[in-house]
Amino acid sequence: MGAVVEQIQQTYDLQVSGYYSQLQLVEEFLLHERELSLETDTNKNFFEAWEKESESTLIFLQENGQAISVKRTKMRIDMPSKLLLELKNGYNIGKMVCLDYDQKKKDGYLVAIPCQEYTINGETYTAIGTVYDHSKLDSMLKLKGYYGKAYLFMLDNDGNITYTNQSGDKYLRNYSLLKHLKREQAITEEEADLFKKKFDNRESGVSLLGKQTPYYLGYCPIESNNTILVCIVAKGVIDNVLIDYQKTVLCTTILMAGFILLLFVGLFYSISRLGLADQKAEYEKRNNELHLQTMKEMEVVNQKLKKAKNAATEALQTAENANKAKTDFLSNMSHDIRTPMNAIIGITSLIRHDAGNKAKVIEYADKIDISSQHLLGIINDVLDMSKIEAGKTVFKYSDFSILEFVQELDTIFHSQIDEKRQTLTIIKENIRHEWVNGDQVHLMQIFSNLLSNAVKYTQEGGKIQFLVEEYETKSSVYAKYRFLVSDNGMGMSADFKETIFDPFTRAESSLTNKIQGTGLGMAITKNLVEAMGGTIDVESELGQGSCFEVLIDLKIAEDRTVALAAQEETDEQDGNILQGMRFLCAEDNELNAEILTELLKIEGAECTICENGEEILKAFEQSAPGDYDMILMDVQMPVMNGYEATKAIRRSSHELAKTIPIIAMTANAFSEDIQHSLAAGMTAHISKPVEMKVLEKTIRSIKSGGGGYRTAGY
């Protein structure tokens, strides 16, 4: 299979080099003229003859992706901005694209080269390209073997598909082959990382992958336009080819055996006719010939055995690499979890030693709180990453205001930015559709991660900018938004920028090592953005700062006027809302129950603890209206869980069964868990460990007619 991939690569290199040579002839013509018109007969005849000879469409490209054809048809080429940047930087490119002109769309394979600036009809152009019909390239790279079941791909430096012999609109976009294989569970995360490194190192090889449906993946670099050729063939297909080959070898062997038998018959006949000396000489001669033929066949068999051994060795190496990746993961997790745990254990010992020193105890308690929040952040990140990798992330779409969304982010990070004396500038441009429909929870997670990193990795007094801009689009259903989070902080090296979106990667320096983090935030952010159909890119320079760009389409929702004055007035109320409140609480863990009781007691509230759902149902049914203001409901409990208990309370005959607020308390903080709680009849949802400030905000929201969710992270 490796030889087949190499042959295809040589064929492609030869053909594409011809394309580039043809384009260079056009470049010489353009540079000779410098300023030309497509309306003159000389120019029209030259370009039309060139198109006829090359059987393609000649186009002239501008830096922004706009183009014009020989027939003066203006068009826009749908391809990534990074590809335009490579063309601008002097690299040849080749990619499947979609041409958009005259309200029509046409797919083809674009081959383009950069050139010096030239002018056509008064407009400046910087590159020349030609678009070939997709079928022409398919015919050139067609595989005759494997029963037509081989899949060919060409990938750019980011692993995105620039050509494939497969049909489907998705392959025309920035579509990652390795992510597609991971999503189809045809490749593991470790294997994907390994192949990403091999592709980056411009390596060649063949690997056997897939457990349930095994297949071979061959790959080699194409130097003419800096891409990677990948060929995927199911193991069963190759096995069938080998079986057919073995049948051919068997038939050949049978024919050879028949031929040898005929030789022996002829030899016997000759011996009977010739003298003894002549018979002996003839026999020795034929014996030598058979010996030589047997040796050649044995050499062929030995070559096959050697190839089989090499394949087994590669498979063993692949398995060892996968095992090492798992070991590295566990090592990273062990280190990241032990660090805050060791701090908590050590500071607990110091509290016992300085128990009589109130100032010291308060200082130690603050440090324990910081370490606990860091440990909780690690666990949340790992759970988010595991959900994403397992493909179990659930998106909940609802209508929300982009402007209110941005304002909420400003509110969340206001205190952190003031603490470091930084400046946050928020810019809103061309927002024509304020109300959109999307997953606000996961969008909040994406931009909280980006802004949190900007604050952490920007020095005191630094500047941070958050820009939201709506792009112009012809769609009446979706609006395209561009988000920029930039800072003038530490920045990052070129090497680290290539791996910033990989799990458990952090920049190593004397400054960044003092900043806590798991190395999962950017991996989660990129996965969420791409799962929602968007893209994320980063530009950064060490010591100069970083800029993250997110492009995403959101469904347009109907505009509406929301009366926020009452809510804002409620949020700004002073005083302790928990003072004098009485709670009925379900908590099966004795230590957690004790902590909750004491925290509420400090705030001036009372609570009655029940060990499971059945007990809290009985306590509520036996209570009189006014005995309890709200119910705090744990979810995972013995005898009867929180969901079942909530449903039973809502069905009961108690006077307040339908109206008493029930707040879920659980460590399950995913959006689907929140929706599960609300569907069971709960009023709101807060995640453990319970923070009094979060509980207070939730109660204010409930009393003002709201509800929803609260977590420690948002």
At which of 556, 586, 604 does a domain end? 556
If asked whether residues 107 and 68 sit together in one domain, one would say: yes
Same domain, 688 and 576: yes
Q: Which CATH number does the domain housing residue 650 bear? A: 3.40.50.2300
Q: Which amino acid is at 248?
A: T
Same domain assignment for residues 551 and 584 = no
Residues 244, 246: Cα–Cα separation, whole Å: 5
The average confidence (pLDDT) of the chain is 81
Q: What's the pLDDT score for residue 512?
A: 47
Question: Do 691 and 643 belong to one domain?
Answer: yes
| Domain total in the chain | 3
Q: Kindly state whether residues 473 and 500 are assigned to the same domain.
A: yes
Highest mean pLDDT among 137-146, 171-180, 523-532, 542-551: 542-551
Altogether, the residues listed in the chain come to a count of 714
User: What per-residue confidence (pLDDT) applies to 247?
Assistant: 86
Task: Report the pLDDT averaged over residues 232-260.
Answer: 84
Cα–Cα distance between 265 and 282 in angstroms, integer? 13
Do 480 and 575 have their domain in common?
no
**Long-range contact set of residues 160-166: C-beta below 8 Å, sequence gap at least 24:** 160/80, 161/96, 162/94, 162/95, 162/96, 162/227, 163/94, 163/95, 163/96, 163/109, 163/137, 164/96, 165/138, 165/141
Say what the pLDDT of residue 563 is. 39
Chain CA centroid to CA 318, Å: 23
More confident residue, 320 or 335: 320
Q: Is the peptide bond before 689 cis (omega within 30 degrees of 0)?
A: yes
Q: What's the CA gap between 324 and 163, in Å, rounded? A: 33
- The pLDDT tens digits of the residues spanning 53-87 come to 888 888 888 888 888 888 888 888 777 777 788 88
* The pLDDT of residue 246: 83
Q: What is the rounded distance in angstroms from the CA atom of residue 607 to the CA atom of residue 433?
A: 46
pLDDT at position 562: 45
Torsion from C-alpha of 79, 177, 13, 222, nearest 10 degrees: 110
pLDDT band at 612; cut points 50, 70, 90? very high
How does DSSP classify residue 176? Answer: B
Least confident of 73-82, 199-208, 470-479: 73-82
For the cut 70, the answer to whether the pLDDT of residue 300 exceeds it is yes
What is the distance between the alpha carbons of residues 520 and 348, in angstroms, rounded to a whole number? 28
Could you count the other beta carbons within 10 Å of the beta carbon of residue 481? 22
In a domain, 380, yes or no: no
Give burial (CB, 10 Å; 0-12/13-18/19+) of 535. middle
Q: What CATH number does residue 133 fall under? A: 3.30.450.20
For residue 602, pLDDT beyond 80: yes
The predicted-structure confidence for 99-157, as pLDDT tens digits, reads as follows 776 667 777 788 888 988 888 888 888 899 988 876 766 666 666 666 667 788 888 87
Tell me whether residue 237 is in a domain. no
Residues 539 and 411 in one domain: yes
pLDDT of residue 709: 47
Q: What is the distance between the alpha carbons of residues 217 and 468, in angstroms, rounded to a whole number?
A: 42
Q: Which of 214-218, 343-347, 464-468 has the highest mean pLDDT?
A: 464-468
Half-sphere exposure (CA, 13 Å, Cβ side) for 165?
A: 19
Residues 592 and 705 in one domain: yes
Q: Does the residue 551 lie in any domain?
A: yes
User: 645 vs 237, which has greater pLDDT?
Assistant: 645
487 and 610 in a single domain? The answer is no
Query: For the segment 355-391, what is each residue's pLDDT rounded down to a tens digit?
Result: 888 888 888 888 887 667 667 766 766 666 666 665 5
The torsion region of residue 505 among left (phi > 0), alpha (psi -120 to 50) and beta comes to: beta
Residues 612 and 542 in one domain: no
pLDDT greater than 70 at residue 172: no
Task: Check whether 574 has a pLDDT greater than 70.
Answer: no
One domain for residues 570 and 540: no
How much is the average pLDDT of 473-501? Answer: 89
Final residue before a domain boundary, out of 138, 159, 193: 138
Q: Is residue 438 part of a domain?
A: yes
714, pLDDT greater than 80: no
| pTM for the full predicted model | 0.40
Indicate the residue among 556, 582, 610 that finishes a domain: 556
Instruction: Give 610's contacts (C-beta < 8 A, 6+ positions apart).
Output: 584, 585, 586, 587, 616, 619
In this structure, are 645 and 672 located in the same domain? yes
Asked which of 317-326, 356-365, 415-424, 457-466 is least confident by mean pLDDT, the reply is 317-326
163 versus 431: the higher-pLDDT residue is 431
Tell me: the pLDDT tens digits for 405-422? 999 888 878 878 888 899
Distance of CA 496 to the CA centre of its chain: 17
| Residue 202 reports pLDDT greater than 60 | yes
Q: What are phi and psi of 232, to 5 degrees?
A: -120, 125
Q: What's CA 525's distance to the chain center, in Å? A: 8
Residue 567: the pLDDT is 44
Q: Which of these ranges, 67-81, 252-266, 582-596, has the smallest mean pLDDT?
A: 67-81
pLDDT at 504: 64
Band (pLDDT 50/70/90 cuts) for residue 686 is confident
In a domain? residue 109:
yes
Taking residues 263-289, report their average pLDDT: 76
For 171-180, 220-229, 354-363, 438-447, which range has the lowest pLDDT when averaged over its residues? 171-180
Q: What is the mean pLDDT of residues 462-466?
A: 94
Tell me the residue range of the domain where 416 lies.
398-556
Is 170 within a domain?
Answer: no
Instruction: Please state, for a pLDDT cut of 70, what percent of the chain lies above it.
Output: 80
- 437 pLDDT band, cuts 50/70/90, is very high
In this prediction, residue 576 carries a pLDDT of 81
**330-358 residue pLDDT tens:** 566 665 666 667 778 888 888 888 888 88
CATH number at residue 529: 3.30.565.10
Work out whether the CA dihedral 321, 322, 326, 332 comes out positive or negative. positive
pLDDT of residue 566: 41
Q: Is residue 258 part of a domain?
A: no
Mean per-residue pLDDT, 269-295: 78
Q: How far apart are CA 710 and CA 699, in angstroms?
A: 11
Beta-ladder partners of 427: 467
The answer to whether 436 and 399 are in contact (CB under 8 A) is yes
Q: What is the share, in percent, of the chain residues with pLDDT greater than 90?
A: 21
Tokens at 269, concatenated: 């006949």
Distance CA 23, CA 19 (A): 6
At CB < 8 A and 24+ separation, what contacts does 479-483 make? 479/432, 479/433, 479/436, 479/553, 479/554, 479/555, 479/556, 480/551, 480/552, 480/553, 481/402, 481/436, 481/551, 481/552, 481/553, 481/554, 482/549, 482/550, 482/551, 483/447, 483/549, 483/550, 483/551, 483/552
**Amino acid 381: pLDDT:** 63
Instruction: Spell out the residues 6+ positions from residue 339 whose beta carbon is closer than 8 angstroms to its own.
Output: 374
Is the predicted pLDDT of residue 669 greater than 60, yes or no? no
User: Is residue 111 in a domain?
Assistant: yes
Q: Which of residues 73 and 559 earns the better pLDDT score?
A: 73
Dist CA 283 CA 289 (whole Å): 10
